């Protein structure tokens, strides 16, 4: 069994190490966190490994996961050459180094001096490591980098019931942006929607209750039918007057916020100008979809001019 060091045993690092330990994929060697308490917590969560808070105290390992925040990956790799050099290659294998950033290529690890570099991005939210232990299986992992490193990582993720895909380094930024648009921005859209309900005098709890079934149904429809067929509402129907009333209401909300001086942003959490801008921008983006769903050219032109108004 290959040994694994985890540099940055945070949410993702400790989850993957715990799953690999439980499934006998890797022998967990060292767990590094700057805080000794965090390192011990990670070790207790995983149930294996030596917790260290000094990089130079990491034991030898054949595979190294750098699971520090994205902006710290390159600088952490810079600190590794003397640490890796103090251990001879195990079983004649040069060490494999990988990180799990969605946006960065394997080459950000180049300063480590190691040759076998990879990135492996699980398309999963590790918000709560305990939940991720059961929820990760079935997720996709995007692999990129050295073939020799991927030949070790692909079976390691497959053993966790993940599906692997392969990317080139030039694809990574846009690939990750696509995932941010659908996952992170869906959450932002939810928040913007709640702000509009708040402006209408509907409290958060009631708004969440009315949104839950329709949002879940919309997500399901998107996967079952694709976005063009899942789109419903005034845009697809060509209800131009309704859309004009909605953009007008948001414009008024933004103007009343501006003239009040105090600004509702600070007092009520409503970002009125952002709501007006976002409604128009998303409306414009929806027009090609609505057209595919049967919106007439004439209605499209009228809607376009509503969204173009400042
Ligand atoms: N979270 C997700 O949902 C998710 C999903 C896919 C990919 N990823 C990727 O996984 C990697 C780790 O993300 P994460 O969410 O697990 O992060 P995280 O929970 O913040 O964990 C990062 C860990 O790194 C440690 N660390 C060590 N050196 C550090 C340094 N120089 N600066 C900051 N922290 C340092 C921190 O502990 P100390 O403060 O004790 O050092 C912390 O435990 C990132 O590359 C991220 O893009 C995350």
Q: Which ligand 1 atom is the nearest neighbour of the CA of 126? A: 3
For the residues 273-298, what does the mean pLDDT come to?
95
2-167 is classed CATH 3.40.50.720: yes
* Backbone torsions φ then ψ of 47, nearest 5 degrees: 85, 20
CA distance linking residue 134 with residue 155, whole number of Å: 19
What is the band of 269 on the pLDDT scale with cuts at 50, 70, 90? confident
pLDDT at 266: 37
CA of 190 to the centre of ligand 1 (A): 26
For ligand 1, the distance from its centroid to the CA atom of residue 274, given in whole angstroms, is 31
Distance from Cα 12 to the centre of ligand 1, integer Å: 7
Specify the pLDDT at position 258: 57
The yes-or-no verdict on residue 265 having pLDDT over 50 is no
Q: What is the mean pLDDT of residues 145-151?
A: 98
Query: Which residue has a Cα nearest atom 11 of ligand 1?
Result: 67
Q: Read off the pLDDT of residues 48-84 as tens digits, 9 standing for 90 and up.
A: 999 999 999 999 999 999 999 999 999 999 999 999 8
Round to whole Å and give the CA distance between 281 and 272. Answer: 14
Higher-scoring residue by pLDDT: 184, 213: 213
What's the pLDDT band for 275 if we cut at 50, 70, 90?
very high
Residue 132 has pLDDT above 60, yes or no: yes
Give which of 114, 122, 175 is closest to 149, Cα–Cα.
Answer: 114
- In contact, 118 and 106? CB cutoff 8 Å: yes
Neighbours of 205 (CB within 10 A): 8
Domain residue limits, the chain: 2-167, 174-308
- Does pLDDT of 268 surpass 60? no
202-217 average pLDDT score: 97
Which pairing describes strands 116-122 and 140-145: parallel, antiparallel, or unpaired? Answer: antiparallel
CA 42 to ligand 1 center in whole angstroms: 12
Averaged pLDDT, 182-203: 95
pLDDT at residue 150 is higher than 60:
yes
Please tell me which residue, 92 or 271, carries the higher pLDDT value: 271
User: Closest ligand 1 atom to the C-alpha of 32?
Assistant: 27
User: 230 CA distance to ligand 1 centroid (A)?
Assistant: 36
Ligand 1 atom with the smallest distance to the CA of 75 is: 31
- 260 pLDDT higher than 70: no
Mean pLDDT of the chain: 94
With a Cβ cut-off of 6 Å, ligand 1 is lined by: 8-13, 33-35, 38, 67-70, 72, 76, 99-102, 121-122, 124-126
Q: Which atom of ligand 1 is nearest to the CA of 42?
A: 43
The rounded Cα 92 to chain-centroid distance in angstroms is 37
Residue 124 CA: nearest ligand 1 atom is 5
Distances (CA, A) of 182 to 8, 104, 121, 136: 27, 19, 16, 18
pLDDT beyond 80 at 170: yes
Task: Output the CA 68–ligand 1 centroid distance in Å.
Answer: 4
pLDDT for res 92: 76
Label residue 41 by pLDDT band (50, 70, 90): very high
Number of helices (H), then strands (E), belonging to the chain: the values are 15, 8
């Amino acid at each position: 069994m290959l040994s694994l060091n985890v540099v940055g045993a945070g949410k993702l690092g400790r989850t993957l190490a715990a799953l690999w330990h439980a499934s006998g994929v890797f022998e967990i060697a060292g767990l590094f966190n700057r805080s000794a308490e965090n390192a011990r917590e990670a070790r207790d969560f995983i149930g294996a490994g030596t917790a260290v808070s000094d990089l130079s105290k990491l034991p030898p390992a054949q595979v190294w996961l750098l699971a520090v925040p994205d902006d710290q990956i390159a600088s952490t790799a810079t600190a590794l050459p003397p640490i890796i050099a103090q251990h001879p290659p195990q079983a004649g294998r040069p060490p494999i180094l990988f990180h799990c950033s969605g946006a960065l290529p394997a080459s950000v690890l180049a300063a480590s001096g190691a040759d076998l570099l990879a990135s492996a991005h699980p398309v999963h939210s590790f918000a709560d490591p305990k939940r991720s232990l059961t929820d990760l299986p079935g997720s996709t992992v995007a692999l990129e980098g050295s073939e020799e490193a991927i030949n070790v990582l692909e079976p390691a993720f497959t053993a966790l019931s993940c599906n692997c895909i392969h990317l080139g380094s030039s694809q990574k930024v846009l690939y990750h942006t696509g995932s941010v648009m659908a996952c992170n921005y869906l959450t932002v859209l939810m928040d913007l929607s709640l702000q509009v309900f708040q402006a209408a005098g509907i409290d958060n709890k009631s708004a969440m209750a009315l949104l839950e079934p329709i949002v879940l149904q919309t997500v399901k429809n998107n996967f079952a039918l694709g976005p063009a067929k899942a789109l419903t509402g005034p845009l697809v129907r060509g209800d131009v007057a309704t859309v004009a009333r909605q953009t007008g209401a948001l414009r008024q909300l933004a103007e009343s916020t501006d003239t009040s001086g105090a600004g509702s942003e600070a007092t009520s959490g409503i970002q009125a100008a952002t709501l007006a801008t976002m409604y128009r921008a998303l409306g414009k983006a929806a027009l090609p979809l609505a057209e595919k769903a049967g919106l007439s050219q004439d209605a499209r032109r009228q809607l376009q001019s509503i969204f173009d108004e400042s």
